[in-house]
Amino acid sequence: MKPATTLKELLKPPFFHDHCGCGEVFCGVNKADYKTSRLAQIRGWGFFQYFENGEQLQDEFKEFVVQALNEKWERDFGEPLKWLKEKITAWNKRVTGEEK
C-alpha cells in the first residue's frame, strides 16, 4: 500500500479525455505513460442509452467532466492552465478532424 497523499500532490493537470470512445480521462501531459496518467474511465451508458444520440451525450459528458476538473484545479490551487488547455484543445481538434 502506498502512503497517504493529497490530491494536489497526486494529480497533475491538465485533465483531458480520449477520442476513441473508451471513455478514459487522463491527467498530466504524458498520455503515453498509461499507468500514471489514466485517472478514470467513464463507461456505462446510464440513462444516455435511452436516447438516439446516447453516444454523443456520453462524449459531451466526458468533455464536461474534464473541463470541470481543470476549472476546479485552477480555482482551488491557483495554477493557470490556459496555455496548456489551448494546446490540448488544438490537438483534440486535429484528432477529431474538426480542424479542417
| Domain extent at residue 74 | 59-95
Has residue 24 been placed in a domain?
A: no
Has residue 85 been placed in a domain?
A: yes
Number of domains in the chain: 1
Given a contact cutoff of 8 angstroms between Cβ atoms, the answer to whether 60 and 73 are in contact is no
Has residue 86 been placed in a domain?
A: yes
Q: Which DSSP symbol is given to 14?
A: P
Has residue 70 been placed in a domain?
A: yes
Has residue 68 been placed in a domain?
A: yes
Has residue 1 been placed in a domain?
A: no
Has residue 43 been placed in a domain?
A: no
| Residue that wins the pLDDT comparison between 72 and 23 | 72
Chain segment 63-89, per-residue pLDDT in tens: 888 889 888 888 887 766 666 667 677
Chain segment 38-60, per-residue pLDDT in tens: 888 877 668 888 889 988 888 88
* Contacts within 8 Å (CB) and 24+ apart, 90-97: 92/16, 92/19, 95/19, 96/19
